[in-house]
Every structure is written in structure tokens, then in C-alpha cells.
């Protein structure tokens, strides 16, 4: 009865409160031991003396602790950063319909703008999807050009508005030769872009990788989305088709029109259609409807979860390794502390001879160890977060997926657990020093 109530109470707590309570609970043993060991004693000056005495040994010891903590913390922070970053990048992509094939390849192409060769969906298929019940919009994509490494992507204003959350700086393109650029494209409103053919190798039907005979005028800039689309130059899908010598999706009478509806017979094909369903339940219905022999429909979020699920085995193996290595490190720390304590044996014996109670030796040795361990843990925490931040910056630059490794609760929990465990371990050399008869070391 009571456990049940407590469980419910716990579950009802906000996440931050749960995390804070867990953190405090993990740290509590360390604090309680500290209070119990130090009650009524003030060994501070001796600790300073011990730290100075074997500065190099202390530095190496602290460094080892720091590296061990940094590995654990960095791994957790990096893994979460990757998971959150990839999920955030896929956030605005509700449902993707492509020709049958690999969902992962299709997702890499449509969401992460990785150059891939996807089979195309035709005009009839597009028309069916766009006309299906519950579809707010269905945006075709056209790849093939680039500008200074930035992919030029043809699509419709519906999707861009959805992607940007309707806060475009400037305005949406309204003409064939206008472009809207992602937040990370080094172009401003009014700039002109001459795209290069190729570099993003799909729909490649021309041989040479020359310049197209077109100047896009930048009329709008999108807010940052944290996805590779921040690096993209977005233009009307019609102009990409035209530049590659294809029909532009419309009949001769509506040749100047931008965006849907498209004329199925003049629709050159698209590797992926981004579908925005009206309601969540319709999203599932649409996925079922278009998962069939001639096309497939999937939620990028679900594919990512599957991927993360696959990766979770790896993650668990890594966590296990982390825990095992932490235990090994704790054992090494223990051995190291016992050895370091021996360096101070004579000083400790003098304290006993002068009238310090055995308990005072426990306090001295434990606080000395606690100082090194706490310092190592704090430095290691910073180091781990720092390393993850650097790695994230590199990954962000490489993939354009905004990955940020900010310190999270899991790392704090790990660090707190490690600190508590090691401070409990630190009692052992203290107890050994406390029980050692002072005479042997005094005579030495």
C-alpha cells in the first residue's frame, strides 16, 4: 500500500525534480561520510601540506581519476547529443513517401540531404498522394545542383513554410529565379547564386559539371532548424526540373505556375514526397495506405527510433564497459590511495604520538583522498563535457546536423555515483592508517 503510494508520488514528480532528488541521493553517501568522518575535527592544514608534499603524485592521481570520469561523462553526453540532434533534424518530416527500397537510404536523402540515387515516383503516384484524404500538403523534391558545396533543393513553399515555422526573414520565393536560403548559407537577401550542376549526384543526366545558365536571386532566409536543410538553397521544384531538360510539372497553359497542383503527364518524377498529414491518426492511415508494392511510406522518427534501438545494444555494451572500467578505476584508486598513504606513514605516526586519536588519522587520510577524488571528478566532468562539445562541433560541421553535447542529468548522476563510491572506498586506506600501530612507523 505504502510502496504503491510512494511509487505513484515519485512518478507524479516533474522530471527535473526526479533528477534532482536522484542526484542528491547519489551524492548523499559522500556528504554523510564526510560529516561523520570530520565531525569535530579540522585537518585542513595537514591536507594542504600533504597535497604540496607529493604534488606530482597527487597530480597524476587526480589526472587518472579525471580521465576515467571524463570517458564516462563524455560518452553519455555525446550519445545523447547525437540522438537528440538527429531526432531534432527529423522533427518536421512527418511522413515520407518514396519508391520501395531502403527506408534508411530514403531518410538519409530526404531528411539529411545525403546524395543518393533513389528511384523516382511518377506523376500519377504524386497525384494520388497529394489528393489523398487527410493530406495537408505533399511536397516533391528535386536534387542535382549545388553552390559551393551547398545543395540546391527544389521543393514547394508549403514545405518550406512548414520547415521554417512560418518565420522566414524576407519572403518566400514567388518566381522561377528566386531562392530561399537556409540559416547556414553564407548569402543574404538580394545576393545572386549561380548553381553548379552536379556535386550532389542525383538525377544526373548531363555529362559536364558546368554552371547552369541561371542566376537565382535570394529573397528569403530561413531560421536555423538544426538540420542539414540549414545549409541548403531552396528553389521552386519546377526550375530544377527545367534546368535538367525535363518537363516542369505543369501544362503549357499553366507553365508559369509554382507549386501544386501538378499535371501528372508533365511530372518528371521525384525521389521523395514529404507529406504533412492533417491529424496524427491520419498519418498512420496514410502510412498504411501508401505502404504497398509500388511505393513505401514511413515516419523518419520511427526509423530513427529503430536505429537508436539497434544502437542501444551497442550503447548498453558501452555502458557496461564504462561501469566495468569505473570499477577497475575504483580498485586502482584504492590501491593508489593505500600506497600514497604509506608515503605519509611517518607523519601520521607523529600525529598519533602527539596525541591525535586514531579517528583523526581516518579523517586526515579520508579528506586527503576525498580532495583528490573530488578534484578529479569535477575536472573529469568538465573534461568529458568539453571533449563531447568539441566532438559535437566536428560532427555538426561534417553532417550539418546540429549536435550539441550539453551537460545532462545522466552525466551528473554518473559523476555523483562515482564520487560517492570512491569516497566510500577511500574509507579503507583511512581505516588501515587508523589501525596501524604508530610505533612501527615512528621508529622507521
Using CB under 8 A as the criterion, which residues of the chain lie in contact with another protein when the complex forms?
Answer: 40-46, 48-50, 52-53, 346-347, 350-360, 438-439, 442-443
How far CA 397 is from CA of 200, 219, 407, in Å, comes to 17, 26, 20
| Residue number, 252 or 355, with CB nearest to another protein | 355
Closest approach, Cβ 426 to another protein, in A, equals 19
Closest approach, Cβ 45 to another protein, in A, equals 5
Q: What are the beta bridge partners of residue 98?
A: 272, 296
Closest approach, Cβ 366 to another protein, in A, equals 14
| Residue number, 163 or 434, with CB nearest to another protein | 434
Q: What are phi and psi of 178, to 5 degrees?
A: -110, 155
| Residue number, 138 or 364, with CB nearest to another protein | 364
Closest approach, Cβ 42 to another protein, in A, equals 6
| 327/2 Cα distance (integer angstroms) | 35
How far CA 338 is from CA of 7, 318, 331, 373, 399, in Å, comes to 42, 30, 11, 14, 48
Q: How many residues does the chain have?
A: 444
| Residue number, 41 or 332, with CB nearest to another protein | 41
Instruction: Based on DSSP, count helices (H) and strands (E) in the chain, helices before strands.
Output: 15, 12
| Residue number, 331 or 357, with CB nearest to another protein | 357
Q: Contact, 158 vs 137, CB < 8 A?
A: yes
| 285/279 Cα distance (integer angstroms) | 10
Give Cα 190 distance to the centre of its chain: 35
Q: What are phi and psi of 138, to 5 degrees?
A: -130, 115
| Residue number, 35 or 354, with CB nearest to another protein | 354
Closest approach, Cβ 69 to another protein, in A, equals 28
Rg of the chain taking only CA atoms, in angstroms: 31
- The contacts of residue 24 (CB under 8 Å, 6+ apart) are none
Closest approach, Cβ 40 to another protein, in A, equals 7
Would you put residue 429 in left (φ > 0), alpha (ψ -120 to 50) or beta? alpha
Q: What are phi and psi of 268, to 5 degrees?
A: -75, -10
Closest approach, Cβ 44 to another protein, in A, equals 8
| Residue number, 304 or 434, with CB nearest to another protein | 434
Closest approach, Cβ 22 to another protein, in A, equals 36
| Residue number, 146 or 371, with CB nearest to another protein | 371
Amino acid at each position: 500500500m505504502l510502496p504503491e503510494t510512494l511509487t505513484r508520488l515519485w512518478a507524479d514528480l516533474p522530471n527535473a525534480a526526479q533528477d534532482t532528488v536522484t542526484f542528491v541521493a547519489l551524492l548523499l553517501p559522500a556528504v554523510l561520510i564526510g560529516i561523520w568522518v570530520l565531525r569535530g575535527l579540522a585537518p585542513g592544514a595537514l591536507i594542504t601540506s600533504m597535497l604540496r608534499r607529493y604534488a606530482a603524485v597527487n597530480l597524476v592521481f587526480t589526472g587518472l581519476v579525471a580521465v576515467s570520469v571524463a570517458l564516462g561523462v563524455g560518452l553519455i553526453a555525446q550519445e545523447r547529443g547525437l540522438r537528440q540532434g538527429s531526432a531534432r533534424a527529423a522533427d518536421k518530416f512527418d511522413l515520407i513517401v518514396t519508391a520501395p527500397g531502403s527506408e534508411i537510404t530514403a531518410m538519409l536523402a530526404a531528411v539529411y540531404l545525403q546524395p543518393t540515387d533513389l528511384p523516382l515516383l511518377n506523376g500519377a503516384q504524386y497525384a494520388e498522394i497529394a489528393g489523398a484524404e487527410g493530406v495537408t500538403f505533399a511536397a516533391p523534391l528535386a536534387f542535382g545542383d549545388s553552390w559551393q558545396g551547398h545543395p540546391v533543393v527544389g521543393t514547394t513553399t508549403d514545405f518550406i513554410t512548414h520547415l521554417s515555422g512560418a518565420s522566414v526573414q524576407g519572403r518566400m520565393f514567388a518566381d522561377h529565379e528566386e531562392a530561399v536560403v537556409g540559416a547556414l548559407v553564407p548569402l543574404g537577401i538580394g545576393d545572386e547564386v549561380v548553381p553548379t550542376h552536379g556535386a550532389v549526384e542525383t538525377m544526373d543526366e548531363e555529362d559536364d559539371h558546368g554552371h547552369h545558365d541561371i542566376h537565382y536571386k535570394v529573397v528569403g532566409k530561413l531560421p536555423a532548424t538544426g538540420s542539414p536543410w540549414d545549409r541548403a538553397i531552396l528553389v521552386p521544384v519546377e526550375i530544377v526540373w527545367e534546368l535538367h531538360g525535363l518537363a516542369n510539372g505543369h501544362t503549357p497553359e499553366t507553365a508559369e505556375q509554382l507549386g501544386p497542383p501538378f499535371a501528372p503527364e508533365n511530372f518528371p518524377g521525384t525521389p521523395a514526397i514529404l507529406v504533412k498529414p492533417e491529424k496524427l491518426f491520419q498519418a498512420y492511415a496514410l502510412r498504411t495506405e501508401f505502404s504497398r508494392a509500388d511505393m513505401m511510406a514511413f515516419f523518419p522518427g520511427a526509423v530513427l527510433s529503430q536505429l537508436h534501438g539497434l544502437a542501444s545494444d551497442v550503447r548498453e555494451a558501452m555502458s557496461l564497459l564504462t561501469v566495468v572500467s569505473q570499477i577497475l578505476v575504483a580498485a586502482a584508486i584504492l590501491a593508489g590511495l593505500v600506497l600514497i598513504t604509506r608515503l605519509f606513514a611517518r607523519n601520521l605516526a607523529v600525529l598519533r604520538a602527539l596525541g591525535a586519536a586514531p579517528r583523526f588519522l581516518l579523517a586526515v587520510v579520508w579528506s586527503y583522498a576525498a580532495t583528490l577524488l573530488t578534484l578529479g571528478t569535477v575536472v573529469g566532468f568538465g573534461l568529458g563535457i568539453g571533449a563531447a562539445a568539441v566532438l559535437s562541433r566536428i560532427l555538426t560541421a561534417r553532417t550539418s546536423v546540429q549536435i550539441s553535447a550539453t551537460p545532462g542529468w545522466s552525466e551528473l548522476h554518473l559523476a555523483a555515483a562515482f564520487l560517492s563510491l570512491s569516497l566510500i572506498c577511500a574509507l579503507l586506506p583511512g581505516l588501515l592508517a587508523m589501525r596501524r600501530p604508530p610505533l612501527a612507523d615512528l621508529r622507521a
